[in-house]
Amino acid sequence: MPDVSDLPEPIHRLVPSPAGRTHLVEQGSGPLVLLLHGFPESWYSWRRQLPALAAAGYRAVAIDVRGYGRSSRPDDIAAYRMLELVEDNVAVVRALGEESAIVIGHDWGANIAATSALVHPDVFRAVGLLSVPYAPRGGPRPSEVFAGMGGGAEEFYVSYFQEQGRAEAEIEPDVRGWLAGIYAALSADTMPGADAGDPHFLVRGGRLRDRFPAGLPGWLSESELDVYAGEFERTGMGGALARYRNMDRDWEDLAAYDGAAIGQPSLFVGGGRDASTTWLAEAIGAYPETLPGLVGSHVLDGAGHWLQQERPVEVNGLLVEWLRQLR
């Protein structure tokens, strides 16, 4: 990998966007690479990618998605619909004085990145997806799908998050502890065994954290956890959870893109132990039709969900290799 020892420090900036303002962290110069985090994270989830991409000759920019960190947090839940987040990304590109960018996302950020490339192919000339595969819009209304998961005794986490105030009541009294639990539950080295129950589901009337393991995953230090916890203790969880509360609106808003493929050069990297990869194996298998510009698809053996933090050296290598093919 390129040498990062002589790089200038990352720069924090606030730029105008339809949300009001978007906070970003920028490092390096060259072609613009926009990095989008997932839930429950922030720009900080890209801390190990910013210097690597900058050293490789790119202008790496990680944002706080609307509702997170130092970016604006509108009160209206509908303000967090997917198309609004896409326009924030376009505004960031323009505010940075660029006409186009490569967009890379993890978790929810992967969905936001894919939709950005789908809706604005003139702005987002290539798209990288980490952990969550691209699956075109289609099928029944999402809330109906998720409501049917888990059977009578259990409830799927997405349905749980969709109910306003319910998850907040679990998380906000102990943000730091809850974050430690969700990070550990989906990390390869601390993932609970099958006998502990799937942490993506909760017993009806229970809490999601009841299935979280104790301890921190190897990729996360106490001080790094403090950074994440500090952001959510300041902002609350409502803005972050609003993404789940707009899935039906997104389904309606994106009706014109039903079944649509993304034609730009693309990359997918998933974790072999990540439910997002295994549950959506059919979507990965459909890439010849849904991502006809696919340059590479990689599943890292033994990796969990927090991919760029669990396996930064491998992920950085794959990202730089892919980016160099786009020049």
Q: Is 120 one of the annotated active-site residues of the chain?
A: no
Q: Which helix (H) or strand (E) holds 44?
A: none
User: Alpha helix locations (H) across 21-174?
Assistant: 50-55, 82-95, 108-119, 142-147, 157-162, 166-171
> Of the candidates 190, 212, 191, 193, which has an alpha carbon nearest to the alpha carbon of residue 201?
212
**Helix, strand and coil in the chain, % to nearest 5:** 45, 15, 40
Q: Crossing angle for the helix pair 175-185 and 222-235, nearest 10 degrees? A: 120
Indicate which residue of 64, 88, 107, 274 is catalytic: 107
Rounded Cα gap, residues 318 and 54, in angstroms: 15
Active site includes 305?
yes
**Out of 23, 37, 120, 305, which one is annotated catalytic?**
305
> Any idea which residue has 């539950």 for tokens?
185
CA 322, CA 327: separation in Å to the nearest integer?
10
Place of tokens 């980016």: 323
* Strand 124-130 with 201-203, pairing: unpaired
Torsional sign, CA 139, 144, 145, 146? positive
Residues with a known catalytic role: 107, 305
